């Protein structure tokens, strides 16, 4: 850390609703290749304590980031700013969103202490969803209890107040403050419910949070991670889910109260159809193998190219062919890509992996295998027929020797 720079009065600490202000530029810097200014006073919140920075403008120039650096509040700008006296405007929607999420987090974290004796070890206010990490694993029931209590506190519209106290006073009140908070600790209190050290922007009343909605939770490290949204984000999340559910309902021609059962029935049908499909495919593959063996001379060397067969089917056909006795199968499927499967019956003398490598080299592909079965593929079908013919010739020569 270098020596602290000029101090900036942080207007948002006394009035989180102040969105416009006048200030003097105290210093000009550069931050990650962009111009940045330090002001004598600011309503812009610098990223800290899990809450992202405010955006807005200074004299019409976009403020793209606000960061603390060596004790200074750097307003990082999207373009040059010449004037010394500037007028600042904070983006109102983003500020209100952050206040809703951050205060909602205070209430939800306290609710987990009250209902599940679980403390929050970290908080992240994300672009879409926020998370808290709890120091214990919580059940679905515990999560819903904490959510319910949070909303009761929201809807009771309790006053929220902030004040500066000495570290000693904070400790006497049972509030733990991080070391970097210094000797003066800012307390944020939701009357009669929550008291904690925090530098963030909070509303005047809990009711401004609107609603606290837990979207989900999962085990994380030794505890649980809880995903949540508050206020306008909760409305947006509800809309998105409603729209998705409505679309699924329309696709299935199913009313909402039968939707789960409809999906379950569909899954059952799909499982049955998949099972039947596999059975029919296997029958067809066995019949195809029998036809090919019958048509092949002796020694039985089957060379065949199919259009757009799945690799699994090609491999199954090869296995059926070689299982019957003495057969060499040189199979290919041709679609956008080419797939090759070479196989021979147990006891035949050919170097199947070597034959495959040779064929793949001719069509610019990759693959491998061991013993009696090898497979591979290529992005191009150019030269496929001559490559297979070459492999067949090698097998005939070896068989005749």
**Which residues contribute to the site for Zn ion (CB under 5 A)?**
198, 200
Strand ordering across the sheet containing 300-307: 300-307, 327-334, 338-344, 373-378, 366-370
Q: What are the respective helix, strand and coil percentages of the chain, to the nearest 5? A: 40, 30, 25
Beta strands 366-370 and 184-190: pairing type? unpaired
Tokens for 53? Answer: 């920075």
Q: What token pair was written down for 3?
A: 């020596």
Asked whether 236 and 50 are in contact (CB, 8 A), the reply is: no
Least distance from Zn ion to the Cβ atom of residue 199, Å: 7
Residue (186 or 320) nearer to Zn ion, CB: 186
Q: Which residue of this chain has its Cβ atom nearest to Zn ion in the complex?
A: 198
Minimum CB–partner distance for residue 186 and Zn ion (Å): 10
Listing DSSP states for 242-280 in one string gives HHHHHHHHHHHT--GGGHHHHHHHHHHHHHHHHHHHHHH
Q: Tell me the torsion sign for CA atoms 259, 263, 264, 266.
A: positive
Q: Please say which residue, 43 or 198, places its beta carbon nearer to Zn ion.
A: 198
210 φψ region: left (φ > 0), alpha (ψ -120 to 50), beta (else): left
Least distance (Å) between residue 244 CB and Zn ion: 32
- Closer residue to Zn ion in complex, CB, 200/223: 200
Nearer to Zn ion, 210 or 367 (CB): 210
Residue 311 Cβ, how far from Zn ion at the closest point, in Å?
55
CB atoms within 10 A of CB 291: 10
C-beta of 197: minimal distance to Zn ion in Å?
Answer: 8
51/372 with CB nearer Zn ion: 51
Q: Which of 61, 198 has the CB closer to Zn ion? A: 198
Q: Shortest distance, CB of residue 8 to Zn ion, whole angstroms?
A: 20
Which tokens belong to 260?
A: 């789960």
| 52: phi then psi, degrees, rounded to nearest 5 | -70, 165
CB atoms within 10 A of CB 63: 24
Least distance (Å) from Zn ion to the CB of residue 90? Answer: 18
List the structure tokens of 158.
């309790």
Q: Which tokens in the block code for residue 116?
A: 């599940």
Tokens of 292: 């090919």
Written as one string, the DSSP assignment of 50-80 is: TBPPP-EEETTEEEEEEEEETTEEEEEESS-
Looking at the Cβ atoms of 126 and 386, the one nearer to Zn ion is 126
- Shortest separation between residue 10's beta carbon and Zn ion, angstroms: 15
As measured in angstroms, the least distance from the Cβ of 141 to Zn ion is 27
Nearer to Zn ion, 197 or 341 (CB): 197
CB of 134 to Zn ion, least distance (A): 16
Tokens of 366: 């990759």
Residue 105 or residue 151: which is nearer to Zn ion going by CB? 105
Joined tokens for residue 190: 């939701």
Residue closest to 20 by CA, chosen among 92, 96, 99, 93: 92
Cβ(334)–Cβ(384) under 8 Å?
A: yes
Cβ closer to Zn ion: 23 or 198?
Answer: 198
């Amino acid at each position: 850390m270098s020596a602290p720079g000029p101090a900036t009065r942080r207007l948002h600490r006394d009035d989180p609703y102040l969105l416009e202000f006048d200030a003097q530029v105290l210093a000009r810097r550069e931050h990650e290749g962009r111009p940045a200014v330090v002001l004598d006073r600011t309503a812009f919140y610098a990223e800290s304590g899990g809450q992202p920075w405010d955006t807005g403008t200074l004299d019409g120039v976009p403020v793209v980031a606000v960061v603390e650096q060596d004790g200074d509040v750097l307003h990082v700008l999207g373009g040059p700013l010449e004037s010394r006296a500037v007028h600042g405007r904070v983006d109102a929607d983003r500020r209100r969103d952050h206040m809703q999420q951050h205060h909602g987090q205070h209430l939800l974290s306290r609710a987990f202490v009250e209902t599940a004796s679980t403390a929050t070890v970290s908080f992240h206010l994300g672009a879409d969803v926020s998370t808290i990490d709890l120091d214990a694993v919580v059940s679905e029931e515990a999560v819903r209890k904490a959510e319910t209590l949070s909303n009761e506190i929201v809807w009771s519209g309790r006053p929220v107040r902030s004040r500066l106290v000495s570290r000693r006073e904070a400790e006497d009140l049972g509030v733990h403050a991080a070391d970097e908070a210094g000797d003066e600790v800012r307390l944020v209190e939701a009357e009669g419910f929550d008291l904690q050290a925090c530098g963030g922007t909070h509303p005047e009343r809990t009711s401004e949070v609107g609603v606290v909605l837990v979207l989900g939770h999962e085990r994380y490290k030794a505890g649980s991670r809880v995903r949540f949204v508050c206020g306008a984000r909760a409305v947006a999340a509800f809309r998105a889910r409603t729209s998705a559910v409505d679309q699924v309902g329309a696709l299935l021609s199913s009313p909402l109260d039968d939707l789960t059962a409809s999906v379950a029935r569909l899954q059952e049908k799909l499982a049955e159809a998949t099972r039947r499909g596999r059975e029919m495919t296997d029958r067809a593959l066995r019949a195809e193998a029998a036809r090919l063996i019958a048509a092949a001379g002796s020694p039985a060397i089957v060379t065949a190219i199919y259009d757009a067969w799945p690799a699994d089917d090609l491999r199954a056909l090869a296995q059926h062919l070689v299982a019957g006795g003495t057969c060499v199968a040189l199979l290919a499927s041709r679609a956008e890509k080419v797939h090759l499967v070479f196989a021979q019956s147990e006891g035949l003398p050919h170097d199947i992996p070597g034959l495959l490598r040779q064929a793949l080299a001719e069509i610019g592909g990759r693959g491998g295998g061991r013993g009696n079965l090898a497979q591979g593929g290529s992005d191009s079908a150019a030269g496929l027929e001559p490559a297979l013919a070459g492999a067949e010739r090698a097998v005939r020569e070896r068989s005749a020797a």
